[in-house]
Structure 1
């Protein structure tokens, strides 16, 4: 075993060590299982863990490498899939009592790609019920806690994934994002999460292949590792007609940070009053602006016009939820958490005209963003409007003194970007006075995912420098 490889080693380096036979897949798995045994009982990030099958998978990976088989980019890396992604032969509950014992027969496309890349499946990561909400709890497995402060939320809906990453239980993690489910938990747990351009990570199977608000995507501890996983998840597939045509390999090379000198940045803490923001989050975003300016970027307060984005998102979410879960709710009215049931029922009164207007608004928003990015390179704003809140709450009651009436109200900083179709990444940049992580959200034009990662890598380096100076 290589003494240099630990669970904190970057995923790209872990994979390289396995390929070079400096460490076996079995030994790497044992390192992670030790960490899981140490931290998961308290944090509850990984569910449906199967150590025996994981060890069998690691042994198979070692035999394949010994036989001379060409290893994939994730060969030998332990991997726990989000519990909303079907993994053939593995319990997949979607965080719902209705699927508590569900075992799929086939892999989702995302899972298929990760497995084909050589990852070793170890289990699943915890989610809210049907991935609804940015706090991870359900009646099947309970609540996932923040690795930096176990009294706090790990975010959601990819909260189990973000927590497991931050705690060193896995080197990479997959997730999905409708209203911020890759970005919010990344901010809460101090890791990196990318909501890719719509169409970058195709989905199959899908109840509605024309639905355009949700997407799968990668999470990692560094931007470079994020690119490694994106290279596996991205790329066209004949089963997903709206997939972007760039091959996943376009993201496989190590990420070189973009120059910050002359970078044209629009920065806002609240998108012109579109949402309330906690003071500690506002301070981190402002600090990012100061640091970017100091590094030579041209930072202004110019923001895109996102009028209508709130109504657009809420209409499309309710329409999607009602179509997907309406019949189940009618048959099992007590098997859904109240906030999700209300969101489903909100779709019952929608008309065809309501949905048409939502799509017209989305078309307008996409055009406005296209125009905005003709004279701006990126937009920087909060990921989440609050830092990690107490884990015994479903959602924060207030934000900066403003009441939050539903589990969606405090997520505007993320979901307003969702309906633009643009890629957005959460990068850790600072912390609250209590030491809780806070990320900044960086947005680029649709299709510019590689460029966004290059800017994110530069911001990541800048954040580390700013942290050292603060100390």
Structure 2
């Protein structure tokens, strides 16, 4: 699309108009967007078209319409974080990555729906209707980047931004059948999100959070990451850019790599159909590329309790309670449980030590393996009105048990991505998670692209989106 706009085979205004037409056709059902920026988007498109007509230079994303998760700040455009406490909040500055994407020519169409402050792996919040899965609107699209995943999967935008503190890019990407990438810790800077102490709720997750793309192709995700990455003085955790960090190499460069595959990390309940699809994808990838693959579990305990305590430690709990008290508001769901829990300093110390133990164990494990492959989630999409299935593979489980694979990469900072691996008998997407060594982003992206080539999915779109395309035609 960007190439067509640069060559004047397509105008940015036409691309934006087509995207809004798709939003109008589908979003009454899917509820992916919570705020639209129609006038601003058309004005930016017109300016880009005029610049191209004058022969001016344009960026690598010239005229491409995108969606931005509602946890990510956008200057002059309402950003609610999915909470009534910020229902009318309009930031005075954009997140660093939004500025970089717009400088590259991308056009923000609007903000996409989230779980409240990103707490919880489904897209519920008390401010907007819950986002629905494009493959079956009776089912969840996951979370917390729920709206972005649904918008990309249904063709409203070519790619969009999500954030990932414990899987919130990868989980909805897997359930909606698209690519989702969480780069290595520090590759993509964050500010003001997670860093600005003025905004309780939005200032949480500092030691876990990442921003990244959801897209229909691995190449699109790599392009977006290339634009967003690089250090900034606003984020003390950001690291210097590497020219090849997001370069997709030919698949034969993976030949001879050693791959670990774990269907359950040694502790998780996993739906047998999901396990079978992910296992088959991993085996086919290894066979096609001549890689050695070993079925092995990393030597780590279930990280969930440590992860939850780190989230609580990173959260401005006092600030949220103060805001809620001033407005007579009560939190529910995962955030409500976190605020009600009687955390102690010893809880946080134990969680920090557990995180160190897990990170060190994974470092030693990844010295033996170039990649770790798992299912992305333990189940495919489920009913929209719950936090998670009550049973998985016949085992009674907690609501959080269906996302056992994702928080590990947030605790360690390793790069991790999800790519579609296949579909269940009910026609629901299943994701394969690919995790690499620290700073091994290029290897992860190359492996994702190899899966994309081996198990092509781009021409398979949700039935709802097919109907919209027919209407457009």
**Deviation per residue, 1:406-462 (Å, 9 max, x gap):** 4x3322221133212111100101111101000110100111111210111112212
Indicate which of 61, 67, 83 corresponds to 1:96: 83
**Deviation per residue, 1:348-405 (Å, 9 max, x gap):** 4221x43233223222322222222222110000111110001122322222222233
Contact kept in structure 2, 1:113 and 1:233, CA below 8 Å: yes
Partner residue, 2:469:
none
In the TM superposition, 1:402-417 aligns within 5 A as 402-406=395-399, 408-417=400-409
Indicate which of 224, 229, 240 corresponds to 1:234: 229
Partner residue, 1:109:
96
Distance in 1 (alpha carbons) for counterparts of 2:214 and 2:412: 21
Partner residue, 1:349:
343
Give the direction of change, closer, same or farther, for the CA distance of 1:182–1:354 in structure 2 (3 Å limit): same
In the TM superposition, 1:62-461 aligns within 5 A as 62-205=49-192, 206=195, 207=197, 211-247=206-242, 250-251=244-245, 256-272=250-266, 274-295=267-288, 296-307=290-301, 309-323=303-317, 325-332=320-327, 334-346=329-341, 348-351=342-345, 353-406=346-399, 408-461=400-453
- Judge which range, 27-36 or 332-341, deviates more: 332-341
- Judge which range, 374-383 or 284-293, deviates more: 284-293
SS in 2 for 1:48: strand
Contact kept in structure 1, 2:143 and 2:168, CA below 8 Å: yes
**Deviation per residue, 1:75-107 (Å, 9 max, x gap):** 111122111111111111111111111111111
**Deviation per residue, 1:225-256 (Å, 9 max, x gap):** 11000011111111112212125x54565653
Distance in 2 (alpha carbons) for counterparts of 1:292 and 1:81: 32
Q: TM-score, normalised by structure 2?
A: 0.90
Indicate which of 33, 58, 61 corresponds to 2:20: 33
Indicate which of 25, 34, 47 corresponds to 1:60: 47
SS in 2 for 1:228: helix
Distance in 1 (alpha carbons) for counterparts of 2:156 and 2:260: 36
- For residue 259 of structure 1, report the CA deviation from its aligned partner: 4.0
Partner residue, 2:468:
none
- For residue 150 of structure 1, report the CA deviation from its aligned partner: 0.9
Give the direction of change, closer, same or farther, for the CA distance of 1:60–1:216 in structure 2 (3 Å limit): same
- For residue 329 of structure 1, report the CA deviation from its aligned partner: 4.1
Contact kept in structure 2, 1:65 and 1:71, CA below 8 Å: yes
| Count of residues in correspondence between the two structures | 449
Contact kept in structure 1, 2:269 and 2:401, CA below 8 Å: no
Please provide the CA RMSD for this pair.
Answer: 2.1
Give the direction of change, closer, same or farther, for the CA distance of 1:291–1:17 in structure 2 (3 Å limit): same
Give the direction of change, closer, same or farther, for the CA distance of 1:314–1:373 in structure 2 (3 Å limit): same
Contact kept in structure 2, 1:306 and 1:416, CA below 8 Å: no
SS in 1 for 2:368: coil
Structure 2: runs of 5+ lacking an equivalent: 198-202, 461-473
Give the direction of change, closer, same or farther, for the CA distance of 1:449–1:162 in structure 2 (3 Å limit): same
Contact kept in structure 2, 1:312 and 1:419, CA below 8 Å: no
Give the direction of change, closer, same or farther, for the CA distance of 1:293–1:72 in structure 2 (3 Å limit): closer
Indicate which of 445, 448, 463 corresponds to 2:455: 463
Contact kept in structure 2, 1:187 and 1:437, CA below 8 Å: yes
Distance in 2 (alpha carbons) for counterparts of 1:151 and 1:135: 14
Structure 1: runs of 5+ lacking an equivalent: 1-13
- Judge which range, 304-313 or 431-440, deviates more: 304-313
Distance in 2 (alpha carbons) for counterparts of 1:71 and 1:233: 16
- For residue 330 of structure 1, report the CA deviation from its aligned partner: 4.5
**Deviation per residue, 1:235-293 (Å, 9 max, x gap):** 1111112212125x545656533545322110011011x21111121111121233134
